[in-house]
Amino acid sequence: MPTIANNKIALDGGTGSFSATLENLESGTQYYIRAYAITSAGTSYSVERTFTTASESPALVDNDHLLLGNPTGATTNMVNANNYLMVKPQYCLSYNNSKRTANWVAWHLNSSWLGGVSRQGDFRADYTLPDTWYRVTESDYYYSQYGFDRGHMCPSADRTATVADNSATFLMTNMVPQSPKNNQIVWESLENYCRNLAKSGSELYIISGPYGEGGTSDKGTFSILKSGVVVPSHVWKIALVLPNGNNDLSRITPSTRVIAVVIPNNQECSSKPWTSYRVSVDSIENLTGYDFFTNIPKDIQEALEAKVDNQ
């Protein structure tokens, strides 16, 4: 508990001032304080003041899903309902309660996440959302009416080491409505490419999410489903690729490979391979307003964000 040093002053009359030192304060905590004076007429109290101590920055640890940064400054305060941080062992995400999808999902990928577990397919509501929020269910995409897939952000096939890991990817907070030819052809092709890099000695820091409103399936163009889920006009993904190793942040240089794509959420997108949709990270920042790679030194960050992958 906080304590106050024994600072007192004695006055014969008139006015005066004093200071006190607060010790043993906890980080990220709100405190209330007021001073008082004892006189011959009794005790008088000052107006109550409040302050909140700064939160401690968590240590940056290799393989943390958010090692490269939190692009929207998402927090676990439910007041922050449209930028609500959810941290899971398998991935992290910023949830948007108004859109009823994630703003972004971030995950680390290397061969240790890959095994022989089969696809669980257990789409379900995420009951770790606050009790007062609507929790999107497995049937809320109304495929027969709207024609959109429950599209994974963190792929099922990126989490096959254990049943629990794979099952976690089927939480609806990890889904956005994707047109089938986006999800099953172009998006899946990029997922497979990234996974093959991980199988071949690389580790990847990946983040993806929806952008805009208004996607197109075989049943038409829709901006919002009757469950309140917003249909994006595009989906985007960024993957930073490193050879397997340690001290990952220190190994990132201006020549580190970064793959970034923005893909239309429609049925025509499959007419081109995923490589045709490569862009710079800067362009995704301009679209979304997010700030990526904030834990990377500024000069390296700027170099990485400006280039477009061509490998």
Which amino acid, one-letter code, is at 196?
N
Instruction: Give the closest residue to 207 by CA, choosing from 240, 247, 255.
Output: 240
Place of tokens 């899903």: 65
Q: Would you call 152 a catalytic residue per the annotation?
A: yes
> In angstroms, rounded to a whole number, what is the distance separating the alpha carbons of residues 120 and 28?
39
What stretches of 149-280 show up as alpha helix (H) in DSSP? Answer: 163-168, 180-181, 188-199, 248-251
Block residue for tokens 């099922």: 156
Q: Which two tokens stand for residue 169?
A: 């990817």
Q: What angle do CA 215, 221, 223 make, to 5 degrees?
A: 60
Report residue 98 CA to chain centroid gap. 16
Residue 191, both tokens: 């997922």
Catalytic choice (65, 108, 152, 234): 152
Closest-CA residue to 296 (of 86, 96, 76, 70): 70
Instruction: From 28, 5, 9, 6, select the one nearest 17 (Cα to Cα).
Output: 9
Catalytic residues: 152
